[in-house]
Chain A
């Protein structure tokens, strides 16, 4: 597993990457225990993998999710209330019985504080041992990422950076050179959350990255687009526009929040999204 496994997950050109908040028990908190919430997440992950997920992003909740919109903020609150902690998160990852790469998405502070010593080394080591293949840290720009890069390299964990619509060439260069696994292309400005249409910004950002890649033959990473994608049609549009994969979070988290037929609903939407991504790929390569 590790960095190579993540790269391999993009081989069919249209990766489907679902996101869930780990330990989110959904709507009804009253009967949930940390164990039941963790078991539920494990079931949801299996359902999404059955539906065709190529990589799974699992959110480790942090009390100040500044990059997240209302849907994932609420999931974060539910997961924390249900007792999710970094050690339990790693237990959960270890317990998963799926053969796709797992990417942990969280903020800098929980990983910085993990373990006996300050610094990110202990978390990355423990995460790698538990089966985490990559990390996404939305509040960590390249300016501050050197210590985490070092730890990730040492433990064969991918460090996935985000490219935003505001990212221009100089910053893109640093991001492409330093990132591993894939490039998280932020579809539009703002916070996470489902939106109705795919923004023009997405296409512009993808084009800018393609132009950059054409000029710098060494830096090449699969590009997965996230922020706002919630339907198969949107997935097709984004992959058709040049993405190698789609990341879908809030639309799936909503299903967990509603708490009805969660496994079946996740599987159904998962299939739609994977099919959409494939259709987009076929459109582009025909």
Chain B
């Protein structure tokens, strides 16, 4: 039995050719990350501070607190360099690759935030980088494609399937199968074979450990609820990790409900990405976890208005915590997320990523039964999403959206 088990979930379901590299990574994780060999973690902390801008603030949200009649605190990962929590992991892994003597970096990306963070880390550390991105995501996250190119990375579109995150991960694994001797694969969430779910959680756990300290400092106590959106689950696991032992703290994972929770098994399409809420046990991309699949074990095409949540799998540790009842998973659909995007922009002056907006859609639905204090992770900012949001809001005639007629002259067609 391999390491990296979370109850029934986890494991190492990857081709033999990759196993030696995975063993090497497991060893490097143990030494550099867990034991701080060669001062690795100190080096990383210093870079996260000076290059990344850590620590990020825990902000009291006046308007939201008024609206829901609870104290709402925002953990502002959108203020991290690159505009999302993704840099915590990307910088950690690229630095680790350098300590391991690797020469090249590859990564997949959905929303382009992980890709952007990785290319920034690679430029910062002088490593060549290639990012795989589904064709559909290339089209709906263009600003991030430009950012990656500006950082000097190559971006390779993936045309297979629906052209989203699932296909991008598969294609990056194929690159790695050929380049494994010199190349490190920087996976972007708490998914994949062991040790990735552990490694990524460890790098992201800075979110929760800061937030927990900030709570104790500001409030003198722990919050009643901690909320994060979950695609693969890295900002969620990173936020929860410090709170796992605090039994009084309820943990909420907000998934993409997409268009609908109904699944079209015939067509092999799940019009959502609510893997924890509706998925079944299976093996995808190296680990045993909850996945969206049909009765034959074929992985379904998922959907979400937000590229970063549009994935048919989820981290194995989240699957385990959900099954144990330690966290509650709830879907929020496309429309509620878009409405929350506008609400947060108007009420708090924070334009969130569409992924993040799901967490605020949840707050709108459940704000009145989360206790007295809630911490919500603002996993990223929404600059990358402006085009999609304008288009999607216009299409739906969203009452929360501002008057967008200014933009409609050449809209609707693209």
Contact = CB atoms under 8 A, between A and B. Distances in A.
Interface string A129-150: 0000000001111011010000
A109 B283 contact: yes
Given A66-B285, A143-B19, A189-B178, A110 B12 contact: no
A171 B19 CA distance: 9
A69 to B, nearest CB: 7
A109 B12 contact: no
Contacts of A109: 282-284, 291, 293, 297, 299
A174 to B, nearest CB: 10
A86 B20 contact: no
B284 A171 contact: no
A137 to B, nearest CB: 9
Given A143-B1, A166-B181, A189 B17 contact: yes
Contact of B2 (A62, A64, A113, A144): A144
Contacts of A190: 174, 177-178
A27 interface: no
**At the interface, is chain A mostly helix, strand, loop or mixed?**
loop
Contacts of A63: 161, 268, 298-299
A110 B296 contact: yes
A139 B299 CA distance: 15
A212 interface: no
A191 B172 CA distance: 12
A190 B14 CA distance: 13
A167 B181 CA distance: 11
A4 B245 CA distance: 54
Interface in A171-194: 171, 175, 186, 189-191
B173 interface: yes
Contacts of A98: none
A145 to B, nearest CB: 10
Of B13, B160, B181, most buried by chain A (CB within 10 Å of CB) is: B13
Contact of B298 (A110, A162, A175): A110
A119 B160 CA distance: 29
A64 B170 contact: yes
Contacts, number: 120
A159 B292 CA distance: 28
A113 B13 CA distance: 15
A191 B297 contact: no
Contacts of B293: 109, 113
Interface in B49-86: none
Contacts of B232: none
Interface string B158-201: 00110000100010011001111100000000000000000000
Given A63-B298, A109-B283, A191 B12 contact: no
User: What are the 5 closest A-B residue pairs judged by CB atoms, nearest first?
Assistant: A113-B297, A190-B178, A164-B17, A143-B2, A110-B297
12 contacts: A62-B297, A66-B174, A110-B297, A113-B296, A114-B297, A141-B19, A143-B1, A143-B19, A144-B2, A164-B15, A175-B16, A189-B179
Given A66-B14, A109-B299, A144-B1, 18 more contacts: A64-B299, A65-B170, A66-B15, A73-B160, A80-B298, A110-B297, A110-B298, A112-B283, A113-B295, A113-B297, A118-B281, A143-B11, A144-B2, A144-B13, A163-B16, A167-B20, A171-B19, A175-B16
Interface of A: 62-69, 73, 77, 80, 85-86, 107-114, 118, 138-141, 143-144, 146, 161-168, 171, 175, 186, 189-191
